[in-house]
Amino acid sequence: MQLRPTLLAASLALALAGLAGCGSAPQQPPAAATAQPGAAQAAAAAYDFDMDIFHPVVASNGMVASEQELASRIGLDILKSGGNAVDAAVAMGFALAVALPNAGNIGGGGFMMVHDAKTGRDVALDFREVAPSKATRDMYLDAQGKVIDGKSLYTHYAVGVPGTVAGME
């Protein structure tokens, strides 16, 4: 079988065009910063990574984010109705307990960093699960002091007291 010259030329041109699209243009250095806030500078920065998919997002009036769209919409509704960031986070936490229970639920725990803009104070909240009051440090050990395989994972001893609800209080 013999290819006609025009078909061969067209195929070659298409292949070369495809190869040209595989290259990457050299990145231009970022323009000099001109009195932009840090967040705006970060959003405008170029990242030296060929699979760059994450970019900073800047908002002037507030923002929410979660792994589940309905939970994010609930958080946004809280902000729009006058609630603060903590109100939105709490609402989203309870929404995630229903809409995406493996991401967060009332049977778990968590951490939260809170900045009070009025006082300038930063607070770290730790509402992780805690051990039951009857737990002991050797409850997973046998008489010889060796770990009992699976006891801390697959038995009724593998529980913690949830902290999520207390943390969202």
Q: What is the pLDDT of residues 13-41, one digit of tens each?
A: 555 555 455 555 555 555 554 555 665 66
Tokens standing for residue 146: 């060796």
Entry pTM:
0.57
Banded pLDDT at 142 (limits 50, 70, 90): very high
In the block, tokens 């292949």 appear at: 15
pLDDT for 83: 94
| HSE, side-chain direction, 13 A CA sphere, residue 117 | 3
Annotate 68-89 with DSSP letters as a single string. Answer: SHHHHHHHHHHHHTT--HHHHH
pLDDT for 141: 97
* Percent of all residues in the chain with a pLDDT value above 70, rounded to a whole number: 68
Tell me the domain boundaries of the chain.
56-105, 107-169
Whole-number average pLDDT of the chain: 79
Q: Which of 44-48, 51-55, 57-61, 104-108 has the highest mean pLDDT?
A: 57-61
Q: How far is CA 127 from CA 104, 124, 137, 139, 153, in A?
A: 13, 10, 21, 23, 21
pLDDT for 163: 84
Task: Tell me which residue of 128, 129, 130, 148 sits closest to 138, measured CA to CA.
Answer: 148
Other Cβ atoms within 10 Å of 163 Cβ, number:
20
Minimum mean pLDDT range among 62-66, 79-83, 118-122, 161-165: 161-165
40 versus 137: the higher-pLDDT residue is 137
pLDDT for 33: 46
